[in-house]
Structure 1
Amino acid sequence: MTAYLAGLDAGTTRQMADYTATHFGWTLHDGVATVVLNRPARKNPLTFESYAELRDCFRALRSATDVHAVVLTGAGDNFCSGGDVHEIIGPLVSLAAPDLLRFTRLTGDLVLAMRACPQPIIAAVDGVCAGAGAILSMASDLRYGTARSKTAFLFNRVGLAGCDMGACALLPRIIGQGRASELLYTGRSMSGEEAERWGYFNRLVAPDALLGEAQAMAHQLRTGPTFANGITKTMLHQEWSMTIEQAIEAEAQAQALCMLTEDFRTAYHAFAAKQSPVFQGR
């Protein structure tokens, strides 16, 4: 059996401990990865290269066995100002339709990779969170913000539709259709207090405590039943397009699978012994 598992692991799992990133910061400690958009002098804008590398990173996380939660943040006092005006927006003006479609599919693939990886993603949002930066926070599973943060889906303000990178599908499910419509039609900024009130931010944190609070939550999730957490993320995403009958059946199958895990047995034995369970993600 061990030999069979070794062969299976070789094709379906990977370790991220030695992973290095070129276009963003990456650290991994005790099962929690921290991704830092790190161009603070320009409010951490994205480039063609960083889009692609972020997409590939989140794709790799789908098979990573040593990463159990992810924190996504920006360097300095801002989260992300969106696509770099000079390195992305300028070149897009002169591209032909097939190349523009390649770009928009690339950006959408990043969101798909974030939603498909089993690890919960916590966005720690301070300062400017605009355009594609707002999309990255939206595509995360949890969002911590600050009172001074300003989140803007500003595509309308640059002559584009608000339907970018899944915004028209994801944002209404987070804050409601009417509120999402207002933000996508106007491109205005949503303040930190408003974002928390509308349910976009899970909580507001002081700027100097933001990263620590997000990482603390990531470590809390990391000590939970991480296989089951991955199932929860999958079902939260997939059930959007299901009927209630389909969702209940899908959840019945998913929960039965979780009942086969070692973590489920561990929890039972710990409860019987009046102890706290130590989950292993298996």
Structure 2
Amino acid sequence: MDKHLEAGNRQSLAGYQATHFSWEQRGAVGLITLNRPERKNPLTFESYAELRDLFRRLSYVEEVRAIVVQGAGGNFCSGGDVHEIIGPLTQMSMPDLLAFTRMTGDLVKAMRACPQPVIAAIDGVCAGAGAIIAMASDLRVGTARSKTAFLFTRVGLAGCDMGACAILPRIVGQGRASDLLYSGRSLGGDEGLAWGFFNRLAEPEALLEASVGWASEIATGPGFGHAMTKKMLHQEWNMGVDEAIEAEAQAQAICMMTQDFHRAYHAFVAKQRPEFKGD
């Protein structure tokens, strides 16, 4: 990035420490760990907000080129904490309830808007808002024992939470999404792989290594190109085919102006592997 544009447009996460989850940077991969294993890693008001703010900040971070989200202790995330979220929600006014549901939706928006591909590493319980975080990720690695449940109807709510009715059908199809959102039942690992919810399965003890390894592979690719791919995958949901073809023509022409495109050409001519730098 040109030095004149760095102010306000480039940030570093060097020294960053999260308060309500853990953050670790492994090379160009950022690792988020939901770390309340004694309660299967539920979310709180504070962790929702902090996750939202981190994903927003990642839009300005260039040294992180892929993200992995996992849970500690053999489970991904059990959703909103019953005592710290569900209980207080029953006492809130309508304006406060709307402020909360908008905040949770803003987390999904931030995940979709950040340029880095996000991989969810899912073992064990993945329920409620945890299932939404998995759904909102770009890629998902599960295990045979993972149990993903969009269980909102089981607590008297609608299945249309945090974008589920828009995003989930695009992953597994309308009929299968309807099944999960009406019933709130658990989707097992093998079924989730067959349905396309999971991209891959791994053994529980190899899940993190497989997910970080995949993220590391992605991080070695053309960062600007990956960011453009993610933008187009999201943006084209609301386009017709002709509009999408035109948008992709413009996007590809922009990518052809990057140094990574030129590096790939020169590496090909030299019969070498290109070293992408994201510019």
TM-score range, shorter chain: over 0.9
Gapped regions of structure 1 (runs ≥ 5): none
Name the structure 1 match of 2:113.
116
Amino acid at match of 1:50: S
CA distance in structure 2 between the aligned counterparts of 1:16 and 1:245, rounded to whole angstroms: 40
Name the structure 1 match of 2:59.
62
Q: What SS class does the counterpart of residue 11 from structure 1 fall into?
A: coil
Amino acid at match of 1:267: A
Q: CA RMSD in A?
A: 0.8
Amino acid at match of 1:222: A
For residue 18 of structure 1, report the CA deviation from its aligned partner.
1.7
1:203 aligns with 2:203: no
1:140 aligns with 2:137: yes
Give the TM-score taking structure 1 as reference length: 0.98
1:263 aligns with 2:252: no
1:244 aligns with 2:238: no
CA distance in structure 1 between the aligned counterparts of 2:97 and 2:264, rounded to whole angstroms: 51
Alignment of 1:132-211 (within 5 A): 132-211=129-208
Name the structure 2 match of 1:13.
10
Amino acid at match of 2:77: C
CA distance in structure 2 between the aligned counterparts of 1:231 and 1:277, rounded to whole angstroms: 19
Deviations 1:209-241, CA, capped at 9 Å, x for gaps:
000000000000010001100000000000000
CA distance in structure 1 between the aligned counterparts of 2:227 and 2:157, rounded to whole angstroms: 34
Question: Retained in 2: the 8 A contact 1:17–1:66?
Answer: no
Amino acid at match of 1:102: A
Q: Runs (4+) of structure 1 moved beyond 4 Å?
A: none
CA distance in structure 1 between the aligned counterparts of 2:8 and 2:71, rounded to whole angstroms: 33
CA distance in structure 2 between the aligned counterparts of 1:215 and 1:30, rounded to whole angstroms: 10
1:215 aligns with 2:208: no
Question: Retained in 2: the 8 A contact 1:47–1:83?
Answer: yes
Name the structure 2 match of 1:226.
223
Give the TM-score taking structure 2 as reference length: 0.99
Deviations 1:45-93, CA, capped at 9 Å, x for gaps:
0000000000000000011011100000000110000000000000000
